[in-house]
Chains A and B, each alone.
Chain A
Amino acid sequence: MTRQSFNSTLGPEHSAASPLSVHDVTVAYRRAPVLWDIDYDAPPNGLIGMVGPNGAGKSTLLKAVLGLVPMTSGRIEVFGQPIAQQRARIAYVPQRESVDWDFPVTALDVVAMGRYRKIGWFRRVSRAHREAARACLDQVGMADFADRQIGQLSGGQQQRVFLARALAQEADLYLMDEPFAGVDAATERTIIDILRRLQREGKTCLVVHHDLHTVGEYFDHLLLLNVRIVAAGPTEEVLTEENLRKTYGGRLTLLDRAGAALEQKGGLTTAAAESARM
């Protein structure tokens, strides 16, 4: 990352209309880069899967887009403008573990949080916004659980509530951090249906995904990330064994070796082997 490229204007590879333009972004924690020189344009109306090993910076990239982590260098534009001016057009589904599920709120309360920006400061949640939130709960098949405290929901149901909250934001760009992690089959189906519907409605979705078996089926574009961008583009071009090897590269072989060593000792469970492969 050089000073020169930081000052450069939109290059020919960047189109102003892109829902998300990431320009030479580097994010570092304590000097160690988490994201290195990320340069990416999301295709309009794309259903984009973001894939990479643990610690590849997937969540950090989403948080950088939302302005939640400081960038060491680079800049990010959403629909051609700085994110501060486009907050209303971005919806975010954080990882499920990021909140306290004992918090005294109901599923409907959480979904209504997606309307707060529309409601504005100091105002109460009006009946109209409450009904809009209820409609979003209904879209994810959770209408019957509106008054349930969120801790009393299953993992999949909690994920659907988060998805409903993002729908309630009525955004144009949806950022989702591992929405499929640890959910039941019915929820997975609901989420993918919603994603496809959003795409039909002209929205763009950038979704962190961890399951290589389904990534080709679910997404039409992929972003392979491991601190740097390994590959990005239409799924059929990008999803190659070579690219995956590059993405999971050193880690994969290292973990495979560790896994093999453990397996010989008979101490490795299937689940651990599975996660090691991820």
Chain B
Amino acid sequence: MPSLEVILMQDVPVLAAGVLASLACAVVGVFLVLRRMSLMGDAISHAVLPGIVVGFLLAGTMQSLPIFLGAAAVGVLTALFTQLIHRAARIEPGAAMGVVFTILFAVGVIMLDWTAGGRAHLDADCVLYGQMEHVLWITPPDSLAALFTWQTWSTFPRQIVSLAVVLLLNLAVVALLFKELRLSAFDPGMASAQGINPHLMHYLLMTLTAITVVAAFEAVGSILVVAMLIVPPLAAHLLTNRLVTMMLVAMLFALLASVSGYGAAVWIDTNAAGMIGVALGALLLVVGLLVPGGWVRKPRARVEQAVVSAAT
């Protein structure tokens, strides 16, 4: 059994980062999945790389704010370019997205190589796989009194703070603009006809996605972050027909998968981010197979019932 100090130094921060990242991702992921833009998260998580590098260069450190702004800007640009190429060149959205994010990622890789090659803070591996185990609280409180000292909090992991801020931001935006986001996702034409600009909502969602991805990827990597965006909402959609419930269930699943994934990683001593990804996959599989009305439902049974009751 490890000491309390080790738990506070390592387990608590890593677990907190995983939980917060997966919760923040689930909130925006619900709308991405419902808009059938699941892979926009993937696209943005790669495309933000040049934004991160520029932010890193401007700030000189891995400080959060400039990197966030750079990444958010490129995230919105990704959505904008995708839309432009889709419209102007009449290329299907999936292909347009593929063109934009790979090229932006490539630009980012080259910028990274030129500029930050010598600096250990930022490299391609870290971007792809994340460094979850590096979320450490170097000087955790060793007594109750230590909880109130600057020394203790000065080393509190920055990633956890930014993830918490992003989670709150996502929740606040979704709570404030819930009906606008819902209508824009469900029926953009109707939204537009009512004076709610669905493009505005689209770019708002893209901005949130970019910020979320940037906050999460440092801890969990740009690949696992896609799983966190997509899997909990997908599993939740299998269970419910209400949007609010879907969001809550998705967050519950995110929590479940990150906690059990981290637990399993500690138990068999392996990569925590990878194990959380496996837990997410297992969760979707179980929900899909076991839930009535999931993947193994009797096709159309409910619709027929509805038709019969309508006829009477």
Contacts and interface: CB of A to CB of B under 8 A. Distances in A.
Nearest to A117: B194
Contacts of B186: 99-100, 103, 105, 110, 113
Contacts of A109: 182, 243
A106 B193 contact: no
User: Which of B305, B307, B310: most chain A CB closer than 10 A?
Assistant: B310
Interface residues of B, number: 34
Contact of B307 (A87, A117, A154): A154
A148 interface: yes
B302 A152 contact: yes
B128 to A, nearest CB: 33
User: Which of B34, B185, B190: most chain A CB closer than 10 A?
Assistant: B190
Interface in A54-98: 63, 66-68, 84, 87, 90, 92, 94, 98
Contacts of A145: 306, 310
Interface residues of A, number: 39
Contacts of A92: 189-190, 193
B295 interface: no
A125 interface: yes
A157 interface: yes
B34 A104 contact: yes
A238 B178 CA distance: 47
B274 to A, nearest CB: 31
A138 to B, nearest CB: 15
Nearest to B34: A103
Interface string B190-223: 1011111000000000000000000000000000
Contacts of B303: 151-152, 154
A98 B189 contact: yes
A117 B190 contact: no
Contacts of A119: 179
A53 B36 CA distance: 32
A87 B194 contact: yes
B298 interface: no
A45 interface: no
Contacts of A149: 241
Interface string A139-159: 000000100110111101100
A31 interface: no
B306 A154 contact: yes
Contacts of A116: 179-180, 183, 194, 196
B306 A148 contact: yes
Given A63-B189, A66-B189, A105 B182 contact: yes
B179 A125 contact: yes
B9 interface: no
Nearest to B236: A104
B189 A121 contact: no
A124 interface: yes
Contacts of A103: 34, 185-186
A59 B303 CA distance: 28
A124 B178 CA distance: 8
Contacts of B142: none
B192 A68 contact: yes
Given A94-B187, A94-B190, A103-B185, A117 B195 contact: yes
B242 interface: yes
A117 B196 CA distance: 8
A147 to B, nearest CB: 9
Interface of B: 34, 36, 90, 176-180, 182-183, 185-187, 189-190, 192-196, 237, 240-243, 245-246, 302-303, 305-307, 310-311
Which A-B residue pairs are the 9 nearest by beta carbons? Answer: A149-B241, A154-B307, A117-B194, A66-B193, A104-B243, A152-B306, A92-B193, A103-B186, A87-B195
Interface of A: 30, 63, 66-68, 84, 87, 90, 92, 94, 98-100, 103-106, 109-110, 113, 116-117, 119, 121-122, 124-125, 145, 148-149, 151-154, 156-157, 165, 184, 186
12 contacts: A84-B195, A99-B187, A100-B34, A105-B182, A105-B186, A117-B194, A117-B195, A122-B177, A148-B306, A151-B241, A152-B241, A152-B302
Given A67-B193, A104-B242, A116-B183, 6 more contacts: A68-B192, A99-B186, A113-B186, A113-B187, A145-B310, A151-B241
